[in-house]
Structure 1
């Protein structure tokens, strides 16, 4: 049984399994919002996978969430997002990619690997989670969305496309709701900063499952004026966060707060077309 690396052990991560994840989600189904707040986040270290953190309850939806390129689910942004999910009856499951685990353990920055490796890694997380949910009667019909922040949302969109390419059944096929039903993005990186012509949208039209993109109107990876000219497919719903940047931070003069924009994003995700 692999030990939990120091930076994660200091955050309270314990050695766990996918059965333990399912156990925790089952317990959270029965808890009130007050009890969930008192319980706090669950943090488990899964051998050959890495760290997974749970906020909230799967009463409405389970969000399997991938982080951005430079920092993981430990950031203030993600912690605020997880807490906002808990207040809306959603279970937020945030994991760290292997490169970020290594970066944190070595205490030095490193770039993410190429996209195919990240897609494969998130697919493994999804498939293992889906198997553990399917084995529990109380969780088997819980709807699942794949998503993330920035780079993580791009990875999630490719994972959904790849699963569809393998012949994943349609969401409407039978009483068991298929996993995942769709995807979401918190600040989709439509293009690298300063390179508006290098678009990362080519695969989006090939995804049949619906997506919700929550985007700050001032996001340098794709602001409102740019994105509204892309002609995105009708399967994608855009939720604009007024005056938000890439991390949803607005200017003081706007009268908005990042906390408020994060809550707005959670509400938009809970209104996801796949959940209707």
Structure 2
């Protein structure tokens, strides 16, 4: 459990490999919690590569609600999760971020007040805009994030027009790295016509995340 206050906590899962090289504080998306198969497979893939992963529930998910938490509540949970990971794995390079909503809430929290000890943010499908409503308004706060950021985006992502996500990451300069996954949608599902499987896509994601985190951790 990750404590949020003296009388509140949320469930968490910490996958720790032998001699972890980094730790990723991995927030879930709006529609599915930390037990979702995609979250679990990414966590296992990173652990096999030497990266510990802390998955945790946002309060609304813990309570069984379908309505995502307000930014204030989500940001507080992210801060507590990062602090929990730092306590459990002191001296291990710490990264934060998440899937969709979880990634955006993590970047908002970092923009508002730096997350102690966090060296970089990893977004697994940054939700740049609502489906069918191309915009970059949701990225405005990223200018205040003074950390390296990795964006993993699919070419068929309905929540991140590829041209707009390229413009967004390009404007962030050296702080942002964009990795584009050909044929993937917002859930990183690929159609058979692209000649790849979802499992292969997930392997690409964890390879990219691991390599990037190792480079950032090395300075």
Residue number in structure 2 paired with 1:237: 177
Residue number in structure 2 paired with 1:199: 137
Contact 1:55–1:85 under 8 Å retained in 2: no
User: RCO (CA 8 Å, sep 6+): is it higher in 1 or 2?
Assistant: 2
Q: 1:183 aligns with which of 121, 126, 141?
A: 121
Residue number in structure 2 paired with 1:174: none
- Structure 1 runs (4+) deviating above 6 angstroms are none
Residue 212 of structure 1, CA deviation: 0.4
Q: Structure 2: which 5+ residue stretches go unaligned?
A: none
Q: Structure 1: which 5+ residue stretches go unaligned?
A: 1-15, 19-45, 104-108, 134-138, 169-178
Residue 198 of structure 1, CA deviation: 5.6
Residue number in structure 2 paired with 1:51: 11
Residue number in structure 1 paired with 2:203: 263
Matched, 1:79 2:79: no
Aligned length: 211
Residue number in structure 1 paired with 2:159: 221
Change (3 A) 1:80 1:111: same
Contact 1:160–1:182 under 8 Å retained in 2: no
Change (3 A) 1:129 1:229: closer
Secondary structure at 1:91 match in 2: strand
Contact 1:192–1:198 under 8 Å retained in 2: no
TM-score by length of 1: 0.71
Residue 129 of structure 1, CA deviation: 3.2
1:57-106 superposed Cα distances (whole Å, 9 cap, x missing partner): 26221011110001111111111111211221111110001100111xxx
Change (3 A) 1:47 1:240: farther
5 Å-filtered alignment, 1:9-24, equals none
Q: State the structure with more CA Rg.
A: 1
CA–CA separation in structure 2 for the residues paired with 1:232 and 1:80: 32
CA–CA separation in structure 1 for the residues paired with 2:58 and 2:2: 17
Matched, 1:275 2:214: no
Residue number in structure 2 paired with 1:163: 113
Contact 2:120–2:216 under 8 Å retained in 1: yes
Secondary structure at 2:105 match in 1: helix
RMSD between aligned residues? 2.1
Q: 2:78 aligns with which of 122, 132, 146?
A: 122
